[in-house]
Chain A
Amino acid sequence: GLLLGAATLKNTLLEKDAGDSVEDELELSAVRHRPEGLEQLEAQTRFSRKELQILYRGFKNECPSGVVNEETFKDIYSQFFPQGDASTYAHFLFNAFDTDHNGSVSFEDFVMGLSILLRGTIQEKLNWAFNLYDINKDGYITKEEMLDIMKAIYDMMGKCTYPVLKEETPRQHVEVFFQKMDKNKDGVVTIDEFIDCCQNDENIMRSMHLFENVL
């Protein structure tokens, strides 16, 4: 009994030490993150040097440590939508930007995402959107995933809307979406169905060019 107790004690102490050191490491790495050089980013993205400078200044101002964690991300995004609750959609956005899934968005992730969204080809943009909707990243958009996304978007509207938001509005919207996109009616939308259908839709094509002059 005594031996067992001593052994467990030693184990917990060791774990704590290991835990502490891991935490220390994490903290150090969080504090000290620096992005890759300007030349590398210039090569990897479609932004010019000046644009990267402007982007980084804004980024660093809001996140002095060099990375954004999900909480900060949600905070920042929610400030643009004061009337509703933008946290769910921000969560999905965060996952879409955090391409290496390490729980934080560094400046490289940020700028890569922006490069696709602002300067990418239609194909790349649609790819990105598909990635956003596909929550579990399995290559298929199911109705449940789409419903989650739709609810998140409608949450951003908040309560005070005209006409008054009803419970089944997101669901109806999802139905319309699936009717349009799901060609073989198998209940899921694949990447090819998605891209095909979007390229045939004039509205969507036009809106993809909407934000080209941002920045």
Chain B
Amino acid sequence: MAAGVAAWLPFARAAAIGWMPVANLPMPVAPTEKNKRQDELIILNVSGRRFETWRNTLDRYPDTLLGSSEKEFFYNEETKEYFFDRDPDVFRSILNFYRTGKLHYPRYECISSYEEELAFFGIIPEIIGDCCYEEYKDRKRENAERLMDDQEDNKDAKLPNMTFRETMWRAFENPHTSTMALVFYYVTGFFIAVSVITNVVETVPCGSSPNQKEVPCGERYTVAFFCMDTACVMIFTVEYLMRLFAAPSRYRFMRSVMSIIDVVAILPYYIGLVMTDNEDVSGAFVTLRVFRVFRIFKFSRHSQGLRILGYTLKSCASELGFLLFSLTMAIIIFATVMFYAEKGSSSSKFTSIPASFWYTIVTMTTLGYGDMVPKTIAGKIFGSICSLSGVLVIALPVPVIVSNFSRIYHQNQRADKRRAQKVQKARLARIRITKTEGSNAFLHSKRNGLFNEALEFTNSTEEEQRLSKSTSLLESQHHHLLHCLEKTTNHEFVDEQYYQQSYLEAGLQNYPSRSPSLSSQDGVTGTCCSRRSKKHHTPLPNASAPAHMQPLTHTHTHQQGLQELSTIHIQTLNILPAMMLKFCNQFSSQITTAIISIPTPPVTTPEGDAHLPAAPTHQNVVKVSAL
């Protein structure tokens, strides 16, 4: 519930009178306000600057410092005000959060001081409004990088007691750490260059005696080239094996792009060694030699720019995809048009639509080889349209890619970008959770509430106080409203999973027998908890279960367990709170199941139930207030 909307809760409750004539069931008792205070102004003195606000405004967010009783620690008896020795400028934004429900990030503030203030006052930064969130994230990222850069300068200092393996890995990753590493770095670089040049020169025709036909150098000096190749491949193999040995996580290393390039670069040589000079396979073998050109990619370890280019292409995948898609569309359209336009003319080169593809591509990229030209007038017209549109289609996505590259090159944040995406997902997930907690808070407190009414009759006031402290008055009133709606329609709110379950079960079976075994009691608490405790802290029968959950043995009783709970629900719907006591005192194991699974300290101890000692005291987790 948003902050300002809380002011409309009285209206919503009053409007609930519209449901009363329609309802057939009696309504639940309204929550009473125990110590109703008149709304008063409180003074917050932040380093000398006085802020005044209504107490109700601060109570909107009971899980922050100002909204909870934590602020009493800062109360100054003589001046009757709350004194905080913090930054008054930042406090302005924080107080506005209470007033408007939106947290803004002021641009002139330093990011770390802002975060410290937020942490002090118990506000999570994720709820910064969309208007300021981008700015906040950017600044935070810059700050993190700056810290990392500073750290990296210190990182090169050699840590004592590093194993040989770790030293070697560090030497491979940062060649500047030791001279040995630097030498190794340059040697491998040299050999990569040699290998690439060898591959190139192999195919150049070496003029020999004029009577022989031109042969490429590779075939003339076979032995020499073979020796060069062998030497290079040996160096590469040794390097790869050393990296594999030194890598902290061999599995991850083997999956990385660079290692795959290494493997692909040296594999053809070994395959060539293994294969004989068989005529059939030598064709395939020749193809394999093409892969030797991948050795040039090994340079990317040596060149930062190459890595950035690769990353840019990866990050612009969507723009590239769009470019490709639009080009394909245009090519197909124009090729078809040209084919049909040129069909009439004799001796046309446009023999089929795929044949026209070549013309279209050459024209759209403004190459214009001239091996295929249209001869008819229609063909010429469409050809000119084709070349004009080609310029447009290609010119559109390219600036996007260019700007991407320059941005990334300047900022040089590959890993940080990936991390930022994860944080964005985490942020949205967190906000989604707080929103759904709003509805789940009601379900949670419903279990409490059922118990609450029973408690009122047993007159255990301390338990009651403990319970009522966990939900603010606003929340309990809101829950009372939802409860009235349930009574009006004679249906209950349940959470998603329970709904799915009951939906399936409604088709599957009728209500089961009334005597659950002890194992199904476990099943009720065990499997439900293991399924839900990771999602919310308000599962149906919840984490009061013993720590030794055994989901394996109890899945078959899970459904039965839920059915029992459902029968309990139906019973309690139609039973006034007074009757619950009667049931509590009965030795009905079915209801004792309900008592165990309600996540509050049980008042009526079911006699001789072995599971009760196992149920630990469940703390009501302090919830992030629903937005």
Say which one of B341-349, B388-396, B423-431, B491-499 lies at the interface with A.
B491-499
Chain B positions within 8 Å of A163 at CB level:
491, 502, 506
Q: Tell me how many residues of A have a C-beta within 8 Å of chain B.
A: 58
- The yes or no answer to B2 lying at the interface (CB within 8 A) is yes
Asked if A61 and B4 make an inter-chain contact with CB atoms under 8 angstroms apart, the answer reads: yes
Chain B interface residue number, banded: 35 or more
How far is A118 from B7 in the complex, measured between Cα atoms in Å?
Answer: 16
Within 8 A of A (CB), among B460-510: 477-478, 481-482, 484-486, 488-489, 491-496, 498-499, 502-503, 506
CB <8 Å contact, B19 and A176: no
Stretch of B10-18, B235-243, B309-317, B513-521 contacting A (4+ beta carbons < 8 Å)? B10-18
Measured between alpha carbons, how far is A138 from B10 in the docked complex, in Å? 29
Closest to B565 in A: A162
Check if B26 is an interface residue, CB within 8 A of chain A: yes
Contact B491 A213 (CB under 8 A): no
Residue contact A162 to B7, C-beta cutoff 8 Å: no
- Residues on A with C-beta less than 8 A from B9 are 80
**Majority secondary structure of chain B interface residues (helix, strand, loop or mixed):** helix
CB contacts (< 8 Å) of B27 on chain A: these are 203, 206-207, 210
A162-B492, A165-B491, A207-B27 known; A82-B499 Cβ under 8 A: no
| Residue ID in chain B nearest A174 by CB atoms | B22
A54 at the interface (CB under 8 A from B): yes
Q: Given A62-B5, A132-B18, verify A162-B11 contact (CB < 8 Å).
A: no
User: A54 — nearest CB in chain B belongs to which residue?
Assistant: B39
Q: List A contacts of B493 (CB < 8 A).
A: 83, 157-158, 160-162
- Report whether B21 and A118 are in contact in the complex, using a CB–CB cutoff of 8 Å: no
Residue from A156, A162, A206 in contact with B485 in the complex, judged by beta carbons closer than 8 Å: A156
Task: Check A214 against B4 for contact (C-beta < 8 Å).
Answer: no
A5 to B496: give the CA distance in the assembly, Å: 63
Contact between B491 and A161, CB atoms less than 8 A apart: yes
Q: How far is the CA of A54 from the CA of B37 in the complex (A)?
A: 13
Q: Is the CB of B439 within 8 A of A82?
A: yes
Nearest-CB residue, chain A, relative to B26: A203
Can you identify 20 A-B contacts, CB atoms within 8 angstroms?
A55-B10, A59-B7, A79-B2, A80-B1, A82-B436, A117-B15, A129-B21, A132-B18, A162-B493, A162-B566, A164-B502, A164-B503, A165-B491, A173-B489, A198-B21, A203-B24, A207-B17, A207-B20, A207-B26, A208-B20
Give B contacts to A, CB under 8 Å. Answer: 1-2, 4-5, 7-27, 30, 32-33, 38-39, 435-436, 438-439, 477-478, 481-482, 484-486, 488-489, 491-496, 498-499, 502-503, 506, 566, 569
A-side interface residues toward B, CB under 8 Å?
50, 54-55, 57-59, 61-62, 76-77, 79-83, 93, 96, 110, 113-114, 117-118, 125-126, 128-129, 132-133, 149-150, 153-154, 156-165, 169, 173, 176-177, 194, 198, 203-204, 206-208, 210-211, 213-215
* 3 A-B pairs with least C-beta separation: A58-B7, A160-B499, A117-B14
